[in-house]
Chains A and B, each alone.
Chain A
Amino acid sequence: MHTLIRSARVLLGAALLMPAALAAQDLAIRNATILTIANGDIENGTVLMRNGKITAVGRNVTIPAGVRTIDGTGKFVMPGIIDAHSHAALEGGINEGSESVTPEVIVQLRNDDPVIYRALAGGVTAALLLHGSANTIGGQGLVIKMRWGTTVDSMMFKGAHRIVKFALGENVTRASSTAEAADRRYPMTRMGVDHTLRYWFTLAKDYDKSWTDYRAAARTNPNAIPPRRDLRLEALADILRGDLKVHAHSYRGDEILMLIRVADDMGFKINTFQHVLEGYKVADEIAKHGAMASTFADMWAYKVEAWDAIPFNMALMHQRGVVVSVNSDSDERIRRLYQEAGVGVRYGNMPVNEALKMITLNPAKQLGVDKMVGTLEVGKDGDIAVFSAHPFAPAAMVEYTIIDGKVHFDRNEANTLRKVVVPSPSPSPSGGAR
């Protein structure tokens, strides 16, 4: 497959070098069931994209002559899937684990990781690539579109939030407690995590004030001396101003509530709690703070702080007004996030459209891109997944994944097992298990 992927990449790369081929971003899918997410489902509907944007969604859409048209008969069309928590395609590690507070660092994208291709084959069109969870305040992540075969720069999702990772609980503290005494690192307890946050935001407020004071003084005094620049405190000050959004790795209800109170006291907002496995215990507090939640469909018992995780978490948080997404945090689950979202229906009986929002509109909100993607509405980006059946049905398979009106995955052209498998040599099949 590698050869195929590489040549596909070369071809796609070559296409990009050609003069703005906007016609390549004109596309229509007709006669399909359209899951708009925003405005209900449309039977026998059409989605039209011009220049990469959705220009029409509905039953009576005229497709201009010459626009490539996919016959959607029997197929289901939904917004491209968005993964609000991935560590795929990152170069050289995901944790700057030398210190517990490192918001100045930024993860680095490796654009040729085949995980991107496999995610595309699962209908994923955008993802948040996060720093790891080793630090109380970790590094900054990247929001990308899965434009496989293009450059690192062209994969960036322009207009998305700047996002920094926080982490609480076992990952932040365990690294220290299992280490040799000489290598231990503060904080080693949840108490220490609370204090670490308060300590650094106290410094950041002072730092921010020193710049405000300087700028005020500089207006009248050309000889005013600026404070010494500190990139770490600058990043924390960005958090205080809301320019850098916090996504906080968290498990237990108590630590989630602790972080909410730290944020309230220090004057910043948690944008999204990540994992948030016990979010259902403090859903009212999360909603009141205005935070959102990005969780696993069902992961539990793999460590002590995951012991009270339940698959009803999504439904319970949703019922109490929290904007919930379901994420992968895995190179495997990113291939079938539609199945993960379905867990919300099986457990807690979420309405199907609300469950689908957990992999479309809701993560779009969490990444700050909901004006551009997350629903099938006129004016939004042409980011679309075409399924062979309803995404929660057992026959659901992605046939096309489209980004900005351009087909980035086409099952018909993909290197599938049935295409490459060489018929097994004799002895011939005996049909024993029919």
Chain B
Amino acid sequence: MSRRICLAAALAIAGPALAAAQASPGEGGNWLIRGGTVVTGTGERLANTSVLIRNGRIAQMGANVAAGDAKVIDAAGKFIYPGMIDANTPIGLVEIGGIQPMTMRNELGQFNPHLRALVALNVESEFLGVTRMNGVTSVLTSPAGGIISGQAAMINTAGWTWEDLAVTRSAGIVINLPGAAGAGGGRGGGGGGRGGAAPAPAPSATDLHAFMKAAQDYDAKRTAGSAKLDLIYESMRPLFRKEIPAIIPAGGEAGIRSAIEFGEQYGLKVVIMGGAQAYRARALLAQKNVPVILSSIQSVPQGNSPYDEIYAQPGLLHDAGVKFAFSTGGGANARHVPEHAALAVAYGLPLDAALKALTIWPAEIFGADKEIGSIAQGKMANLFVASGDPLDMRTQITHVFIKGRNVPSDDRHSRLYQKYRARPMPPPG
């Protein structure tokens, strides 16, 4: 990445202060990105189009937009893309795996719908800086563990506080339906507590149903004004009002069927998380309009499945009319989510659909599409400028804007890069 070297170099010269200086959320004010090809994220490619950013939002787009007092970035010959989204990560909750104070994603207890990922996010997480540098401007960050893990949040990858990071404060509640994640081959609980969680008593479907019925009962009483406030049950009410989805890890056809049935039983909007073999239930998913957050495509196939099972699945889901989004499931590798999409394109997913699955679809799935997911007037200015298709490894990303702020490449990795690039070369011989 060759961009904004000046600022990074200036930071490198700052020497010892460097270690303390974390990546900057960027320079605000008004910006005009002039004369690039805007790829809107909703299917259009607008040649020779400028984007004016005011007050953190896209104020105007078109061929002739006056800069006024805005700082100008020349995008001639370049492409302007909506910021990409990794639809499941632990960013902000987990830093170095295995070190307990840096790994606070799994709370004790089985029923934690009241826990909010957002309020526990470390705004100085090094993952944020390196992730946004590759054009990934938003991520879902989710809690894990127990049967009901808590509330995920859709956040930007730059901001001053967790409130500043937030796009959708509560983007859904993670419900680990006992048995669902394992069905169809076991690997699929991208966001769930399965796999990574500490050994716990086997979760019981009976317990979950008892909890759900009690929550429904509470909801009815509260509506009727006849129940005292209960923080745990109260946090379930947006689910029953379908304001936010239940995010249910499910691997294969059986797990997906039970997740959809569970949603219908309690009147919930369901998002499948994982879906290693979701293609086996694609007609049902399409019919019920249930979207899938795909767990890492950078995986190996289940059992004796065809070698290209994981790579080819997104194309099959698309053909069947299922809405989906890509996710890495990780913090350190969230920046590589466009490479996940590239694998899907190679094995049969149309490129435009891959871009949607990186932008507008995850925004829609998590109720954030009024703010992010495409380049459109009035939306939050989350976008990046690149020399070409972000799914092509040869492309260079030159500018990243988040909430209208021009974010410099002063993340941890760029700082180390600049520091050691500047090490004097040894004398010849």
Contact = CB atoms under 8 A, between A and B. Distances in A.
Contacts of B396: 346, 349
B283 A1 contact: no
A298 B307 contact: no
B1 interface: yes
Interface stretch (A124-132, A230-238, A307-315): A307-315
Given A332-B298, A430-B287, A280 B318 contact: no
B269 interface: no
B323 interface: yes
Contacts of A157: none
Contacts of A316: 417, 420-421
Contacts of B322: 432-433
Contacts of B283: 424-429
B286 A429 contact: yes
A208 B67 CA distance: 77
B306 A1 contact: yes
Given A392-B392, A415-B306, A417-B308, A310 B300 contact: no
A310 B339 CA distance: 17
A424 B281 contact: yes
A424 B420 contact: no
A395 B393 contact: no
Interface string A416-427: 111111001111
A70 to B, nearest CB: 19
Contacts of A241: none
Given A301-B332, A349-B2, A433 B318 contact: yes
A417 B313 contact: yes
B291 interface: yes
B75 interface: no
A402 interface: no
A381 B291 CA distance: 48
B138 to A, nearest CB: 19
Contact of B307 (A284, A342, A414, A428): A414
B133 to A, nearest CB: 9
B347 interface: yes
A348 B289 CA distance: 42
B282 interface: yes
Given A392-B392, A394-B341, A281 B420 contact: yes
B98 interface: yes
Given A301-B331, A316-B417, A429-B282, A118 B307 contact: yes
A331 B301 CA distance: 11
Interface size grouping (class) on chain B = 35 or more
For A396, A417, A421, which residue has the most chain B Cβ atoms within 10 angstroms? A417
Nearest to B347: A397
Given A298-B336, A417-B316, A429-B321, A310 B393 contact: no
Interface string A83-100: 000000000000000000
B323 A432 contact: yes
B290 to A, nearest CB: 10
B393 to A, nearest CB: 3
A427 B2 CA distance: 51
Contacts of A397: 346-347
Contact of A394 (B280, B392, B397, B423): B392
Interface in A1-44: 1-2
Contact of A312 (B306, B394, B417): B417
Given A333-B298, A352-B394, A424-B281, A432 B286 contact: yes
Contacts of A352: 394
A420 B392 contact: no
Contact of A332 (B279, B300, B345, B413): B300
Contacts of B300: 115, 118, 331-332, 335
A240 B80 CA distance: 56
Nearest to B300: A332
B212 interface: no
A303 interface: yes
B307 A121 contact: yes
A346 B395 contact: yes
B326 interface: no
A304 interface: yes
B391 interface: yes
A339 interface: yes
Contacts of A118: 300-301, 307
For A121, A299, A392, A430, which residue has the most chain B Cβ atoms within 10 angstroms? A430
A307 B289 contact: no
A345 B393 contact: yes
Nearest to A310: B413
A300 interface: yes
B65 interface: no
Given A303-B97, A429-B282, A310 B417 contact: yes
Contact of B346 (A299, A347, A396, A433): A396
Contacts of A417: 279, 305-306, 308-309, 312-313, 316, 347
A308 B396 CA distance: 23
A349 B414 CA distance: 13
Contacts of A341: 393
Interface in A106-162: 115, 117-118, 121
Interface in B216-243: none
A48 interface: no
Interface string B270-300: 0000000001111110110101000000111
14 contacts: A1-B306, A118-B301, A301-B126, A302-B97, A303-B96, A331-B300, A414-B307, A416-B308, A416-B312, A424-B280, A430-B289, A432-B321, A433-B291, A433-B324
Given A394-B341, A434-B321, 15 more contacts: A118-B307, A301-B96, A304-B96, A308-B416, A316-B420, A346-B396, A347-B413, A394-B389, A397-B346, A418-B316, A429-B283, A429-B321, A430-B286, A430-B287, A432-B323
Top 7 A-B pairs ranked by shortest CB distance?
A342-B393, A433-B323, A394-B391, A424-B283, A431-B321, A394-B342, A392-B393
